[in-house]
Structure 1
Amino acid sequence: MSSSDDSEQTKLEVQLEISNFQRDFPNCPYKMIEKIGQGTFSSVYKAVDTQHQHTSDCGEECNIVAVKRIYPTSSPTRILTELSILHSLSGHPNIAPLLNAIRHDDQVIAVLPYYPHANFKHYFRELSNNQTKSYLRSLLSALKHVHHKGYIHRDVKPSNFIFSPEKEAGVLIDFGLAQTEADKRDDSKFKQPKPIKLEKRRPFYIVDDKRPSIRANRAGTRGFRAPETRAIDIWSVGVILLSILTGQFPFFQSTDDVEAMLEISHIFGKQKMKQLACTLRKEIGLRHIVDKMSENPVDEEALDLLEKLLELDPSKRITASEALHHTYLQQ
């Protein structure tokens, strides 16, 4: 089958999907035009608002919106959390505001502005130094607001940050995995346990181990997740900047967390990863990797910011607010 046949088949499948959606959601005030995105828990469509006109952040009135159809298989708690967070974050220029939310039986849609934008993989190698700064300022400004409100996005990646290189502005989208930041536990209430002496043994694996595997309940897209859960959004910004500076996307191409750790240790070094595990104290050195992979000289201040964004120790990693005041973004 040729690529044109595949494309035609995809169009037919999308048309059928839209028809089924209109059938399942009668009297929906939004007429779907085309499918523009899909994730694990939802699909997103470019649509016409047949009843109202919404004013976009750029001040232009239009009746084109983005309709996010949340799958019925999503838990009610997840849906409520996403809509509540979107509503709470409305008003920031770098975060897509929630315009409307409608439920019909088990069908739920969230309506947001439609933002014309380019695909990251088509422009990230062509970004000028100033455009890179604008990208980071917009993204970090959005995350500063998210974190100030007490939330974690948990899935920061290029496809969830709609950026226009021409306008040098972007908006953060898709809060399907976002959650409220957990309160810090008061460690003073817990006593320090006594050390336990273990018999020294060589590492081994059990042959035909029948025990069930343990999987962590972690959010985020592989390659953009931090090695820990704290400051995960900032780590993801660092991974994006790493792609921009080196011209390689995705930079981390692991299929699981084990491969991700191997890739990370390849850059930072086995010894530094061991030091982190033992003492949580280390220094990061990415300059050699970036200089080797980049076709053009890299701004020294950009490298310094990159190191701070990709600090392995989350307690030492730069915050969104601090990053916005970094010398590189102030130039």
Structure 2
Amino acid sequence: MAWAAGKQLQNGRYTLESVLGQGRFGITYFARDRNNTPVVIKIPNKDALMPEEFDRLQVVFVQEAHKLARCRHPHIVKTGEPFKEDGIWCIPMEYIDGTTLDKRAEKQLPEAEALTYVRQIGAALTEVHRNGFLHRDVRPANIMVRRGKSEAVLIDFGLARAFDHDLTITRTREIATGFAPIELYSRHGDRGAYTDVYALAATLYELLTGVVPTNAADRKAFNAKLSPPKDYNPRISDSVNKAILRGLTLEGENRPQMVDEWLVALGLPTTQETTQTLPSTPNPAGQTWNWATIWTAVGSLAAIIALLVAIPQCQPTQKTPQAPANTSPSGTP
């Protein structure tokens, strides 16, 4: 059950005001700190999972916070120090006043504007990849544009994973149709930076046309046609049209392998050439991260889960009642 408005967290440090979004794995709240500064609080969704799944999710959740802390970039949402409330881990995050690109007023953006956002998110993804992660869920709904500015921010890292370690089995229902490349439909599919290149190309396709590109699974299984974006919007330049189709190449090995390679195909400067320092937003937690304490707690939880898994199967088992399940403009996975 979602926490009620008015609930105070961390001894009154944060006060919840409303639910921004709720997904299968998480709930995102709008809150304010003691200085009345808006902040987002993200928690794992306890009600949507079986108890043993939730315990494991708690571990993954704090790992996500650690991962986000390593990816400091002007176009990546900022996070604060995680804390526990009522036995549930919470991540305070920067509140971004703006609109996600899937809710933009103009369905076909001017090419220059769309390329500005794609270059910024491309720079953010390069930072993610530099830290050894993949995002795997790039799409307009996970990109926020700050109100009154042409600044795009990548807000949702719920499906991000280390390059060499899958934490969960890929489930088709968790894949963003039209934006996910074919390798995400298989648990054992090879993945790399080119996986996010596909999703970013699909995002640009949708920003310029207002149409979601043909699902990769249908293209693979049924030879479904991918119409060039220029078919929907003749104002798209030939070079951008060609670069989008190259980024949407079905097989990963035939796509641009790195984000910068694809940006060059679009005629954009590489992320190294466009590194710029934007005014930094204060850490929502307002203090230095105490990761030693956090990882001690996470390690204890992980050890308990491992012990439970090791209990012999011959012991009596109890069925746990199934809880109801339920994306959010603020980054709820």
Q: TM-score, normalised by structure 1?
A: 0.66
CA distance in structure 2 between the partners assigned to 1:124 and 1:260 by the alignment:
28
Structure 1's unaligned 5+ residue stretches are 1-15, 53-61, 184-214, 269-285
Contact 1:71 1:108 in 2 (8 A): no
Give the CA deviation at 1:140. Answer: 0.6
Of the three residues 102, 106, 112, the one matched with 2:83 is 102
Q: Which residue of 2 aligns with 1:175?
A: 157
* Cα pair distance change 1:262/1:297, threshold 3 Å: farther
Structure 2's unaligned 5+ residue stretches are 185-190, 271-333
Give the CA deviation at 1:95. Answer: 0.6
Query: Are residues 1:19 and 2:1 paired?
Result: no
* Cα pair distance change 1:166/1:172, threshold 3 Å: same
Contact 1:131 1:165 in 2 (8 A): no
Q: Which residue of 2 aligns with 1:127?
A: 109
CA distance in structure 1 between the partners assigned to 2:267 and 2:147 by the alignment:
19
Q: Which residue of 1 aligns with 2:323?
A: none
Which one-letter code corresponds to 2:98 in the other structure? Answer: H
The one-character-per-residue Cα deviations of 1:182-205 (angstroms, maximum 9, x if unpaired) are 18xxxxxxxxxxxxxxxxxxxxxx
CA distance in structure 1 between the partners assigned to 2:219 and 2:105 by the alignment:
25
Cα RMSD (Å)? 2.9
Give the CA deviation at 1:251. Answer: 3.9
Of the three residues 232, 239, 246, the one matched with 2:209 is 246
Which one-letter code corresponds to 2:263 in the other structure? Answer: L
Query: Are residues 1:67 and 2:41 paired?
Result: yes
CA distance in structure 2 between the partners assigned to 1:17 and 1:260 by the alignment:
39
CA distance in structure 1 between the partners assigned to 2:15 and 2:164 by the alignment:
39
CA distance in structure 1 between the partners assigned to 2:27 and 2:170 by the alignment:
25
Worse-superposed segment, 316-325 or 154-163: 316-325
Query: Are residues 1:220 and 2:171 paired?
Result: no
CA distance in structure 2 between the partners assigned to 1:64 and 1:246 by the alignment:
34
Query: Are residues 1:86 and 2:68 paired?
Result: yes
Give the CA deviation at 1:94. Answer: 0.7
Q: TM-score, normalised by structure 2?
A: 0.66
Q: Following superposition of structure 1 onto structure 2, how do residues 263-302 of structure 1 map, counting pairs within 5 Å?
A: 265-268=223-226, 286-287=227-228, 290-294=229-233, 296-302=234-240
Greater relative contact order, per chain length (Cα 8 Å cut-off, separation 6+): 2
Q: How many residues align?
A: 248
* Cα pair distance change 1:180/1:124, threshold 3 Å: farther
Q: Which residue of 1 aligns with 2:196?
A: 233
Give the CA deviation at 1:163. Answer: 1.9
Q: Following superposition of structure 1 onto structure 2, how do residues 33-48 of structure 1 map, counting pairs within 5 Å?
A: 33-48=17-32
Give the CA deviation at 1:133. Answer: 1.1
Of the three residues 264, 268, 273, the one matched with 1:325 is 264
CA distance in structure 2 between the partners assigned to 1:121 and 1:30 by the alignment:
28
Could you say which structure has the larger radius of gyration? 1
CA distance in structure 1 between the partners assigned to 2:12 and 2:44 by the alignment:
15
* Cα pair distance change 1:65/1:251, threshold 3 Å: same
Of the three residues 270, 282, 307, the one matched with 2:245 is 307
The one-character-per-residue Cα deviations of 1:8-54 (angstroms, maximum 9, x if unpaired) are xxxxxxxx94427828x57342112222222221111221111x5xx
